[in-house]
Amino acid sequence: MEFKEDILYYELLNSQTIYNLLNIFHKETGLLINIFDLQGFIHINFFPDQSQNPFCETIQECRHFQITCSNEDIFKMGKEAIILKKPLPYICSSGLTDIVTPVLIKDVHIGNFITGQFRTSNQPESNFKEMLMSFPDKSKIKLLTKYYYSTRVLSDRDLIKVTDILSFMGNYVSTYGENFIYDYRNKFQGNDIIGRTKNYIRGNYQD
């Protein structure tokens, strides 16, 4: 596996096509999503109607947990996902489920899609309970508990669907990225990826 930083890859991460792709995913699934480069920087700002889960917002008011969340998503789990070369669902240290999807172009790892902040049907609560025990502001324990149990729950079937969609998106970005790099001077727009992704999500997530 080759790890590389290149200005054209960062141009790709900043492109309107990637923005449109993430926006389609969010509108069709209702899930938050973003793309991070290998240094942990966000290249597409959250869309206006994407608000972070209040559970996560409250946790990240504590600097220690904010750093833990970022390092876990972007670095630790991102490295595991790139070994598998496919989306990796996992339970975060605070007890919610996230999915990291590596973005590859010609076997070059340029970043990760990250979506999540939901619960699953049979999800264990051990991480959540351990987080509560160590959370420094005890006055927020009841609020965190309320937010946790009001967090959206995905069925096992929907989790599989979302993971499949992310695989599809990752593969298409790989193909689009090769065209983007090859045809950069002509400002390749990648309209095909948008239409095909929208049809795929609507056909596979909403059946």
- 10-residue mean pLDDT profile of the chain (207 residues): values are 53 76 87 81 61 86 74 70 87 90 82 90 90 90 95 93 91 74 50 68 71
The answer to whether 103 and 172 have CB atoms below 8 angstroms apart is no
pLDDT of the residue at 185: 43
pLDDT of the residue at 139: 92
pLDDT of the residue at 162: 94
pLDDT of the residue at 186: 47
**What CA–CA distances, in Å, run from 81 to 66, 87, 89, 163, 195?**
21, 6, 9, 12, 27
pLDDT of the residue at 153: 95
Q: Which tokens hold the place of 141?
A: 């324990």
| pTM greater than 0.85 (yes/no) | no
pLDDT of the residue at 2: 44
pLDDT of the residue at 78: 74
